[in-house]
């Protein structure tokens, strides 16, 4: 488990907040089961001579007698302040759908209560995927101010540049293609490798805000392109092949402009966007249509609309309807 350094003030704020959420936290899981999943109570000593371990201790004083408060348990009895590793485990457990036996609404409730506090201290819950029931799985992480799409899991498969050394069993490979766009060289072939098998995804172009040619500029392996780069697939088959896997995480890692219009808006004024990325009609069309085509939308409705209006010279019941199809 990756441990995040957590400020003591943050821990105290979280514990104070949890105390106000006590009844909500233990709706689907018993307090004993919750703390046992974190602490392994059976191997911890009891402070009450009547019981063999901390499990019996907690059961008597929190469940039966109710003479321990949640704050006492977290601050004193098990001292969650003493260890960043222990507190990280606490925070991850609170949003674990499998341990907490909770769904989307409950996770959203806990997330919205705790994450604003975490962000103040430069940490956050980061989406790490979805379970088999499509319930989000969050894990504590350092705050990433550059991530504009936090509702999409970050990519964890490396992109390997051509002949760079690689020991991974699963990776993407980018190989530059000698294609000249008015002196700009931005074209690559993207392939996916797993268990030594190659799956060709297709061609894409990557442009930079700072460099003329990215085939010469991108030399290091990466998990995500930085914000000065963006990309666009050159054929629709490229997107079809990506959507056989964890598509949005991959496209997010490549700053794809067809699926992330906010990224498009920060690049579309550049000459390399027009002269290289969407140099030809097919790619300009992909920019507008790829995300709709992949979801089987009716493209005939994409550029059509109706305009209904009532001129002053006709009765209130009568209206004119004009239909536009492009």
Instruction: For residue 178, tell me if it sits in a domain.
Output: yes
Residues in the chain: 326
Instruction: For residue 303, tell me if it sits in a domain.
Output: no
> Taking all residues of the chain, what is their mean pLDDT, rounded to a whole number?
92
Residue 307 has what pLDDT? 57
- On whether both 117 and 194 belong to a single domain, the answer is no
- On whether both 173 and 74 belong to a single domain, the answer is no
The structure's pTM equals 0.77
Beta-carbon count within 10 A of 292 CB:
14
Q: What is the pLDDT of residues 29-52, one digit of tens each?
A: 999 999 999 999 999 999 999 999
- On whether both 189 and 279 belong to a single domain, the answer is yes
Residue 136 has what pLDDT? 95
Residue 301 has what pLDDT? 56
Residue 295 has what pLDDT? 87
Instruction: For residue 33, tell me if it sits in a domain.
Output: yes
Instruction: For residue 152, tell me if it sits in a domain.
Output: no
Residue 306 has what pLDDT? 58
Contacts of 24 (CB under 8 A, 6+ apart): 106, 109
Q: Is the pLDDT of residue 185 over 90?
A: yes
Residue 103 has what pLDDT? 96
- On whether both 189 and 72 belong to a single domain, the answer is no
- Answer for the pair 275, 268: CB distance below 8 angstroms, yes or no: no
- On whether both 138 and 185 belong to a single domain, the answer is no
- On whether both 109 and 192 belong to a single domain, the answer is no
**Which one-letter DSSP state was computed for residue 3?**
P
Q: Is the pLDDT of residue 304 over 90?
A: no
119: containing domain: 8-142
Instruction: For residue 270, tell me if it sits in a domain.
Output: yes
How many domains is the chain partitioned into structurally?
2
Q: Is the pLDDT of residue 122 over 60?
A: yes
Residue 303 has what pLDDT? 46
């Amino acid at each position: 488990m990756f441990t995040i350094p957590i400020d003591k003030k943050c821990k105290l704020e979280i514990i104070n907040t949890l105390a106000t959420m006590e009844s909500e936290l233990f709706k689907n899981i018993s307090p004993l089961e919750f703390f046992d999943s974190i602490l392994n109570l059976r191997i911890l000593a009891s402070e009450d001579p009547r019981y063999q371990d901390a499990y019996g201790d907690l059961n008597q004083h929190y469940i039966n007698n109710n003479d321990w408060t949640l704050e006492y348990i977290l601050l004193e009895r098990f001292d969650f302040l003493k260890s960043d590793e222990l507190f990280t485990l606490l925070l991850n457990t609170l949003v674990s759908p499998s341990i907490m036996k909770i769904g989307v609404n409950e996770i959203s409730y806990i997330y919205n209560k705790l994450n604003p506090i975490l962000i103040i201290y430069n940490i956050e819950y980061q989406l790490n995927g979805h379970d088999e029931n499509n319930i989000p799985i969050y894990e504590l992480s350092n705050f990433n101010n550059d991530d504009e799409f936090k509702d999409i899991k970050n990519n964890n498969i490396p992109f390997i540049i051509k002949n760079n050394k690689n020991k991974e069993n699963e990776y993407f490979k980018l190989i530059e293609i000698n294609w000249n766009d008015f002196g700009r060289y931005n074209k690559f072939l993207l392939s996916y490798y797993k268990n030594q098998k190659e799956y060709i995804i297709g061609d894409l172009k990557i442009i930079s805000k700072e460099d003329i040619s990215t085939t010469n500029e991108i030399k290091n392996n990466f998990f995500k392109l930085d914000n000065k780069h963006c990309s666009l697939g050159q054929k629709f088959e490229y997107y079809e092949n990506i959507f056989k896997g964890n598509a949005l995480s991959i496209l997010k890692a490549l700053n794809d402009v067809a699926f992330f219009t906010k990224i498009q808006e920060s690049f579309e004024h550049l000459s390399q966007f027009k002269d290289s990325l969407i140099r030809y009609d097919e790619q300009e069309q992909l920019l507008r249509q790829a995300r709709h085509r992949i979801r089987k939308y009716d493209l005939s409705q994409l550029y059509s609309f109706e305009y209904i209006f009532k001129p002053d010279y006709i009765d209130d019941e009568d209206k004119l309807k004009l239909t536009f199809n492009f």
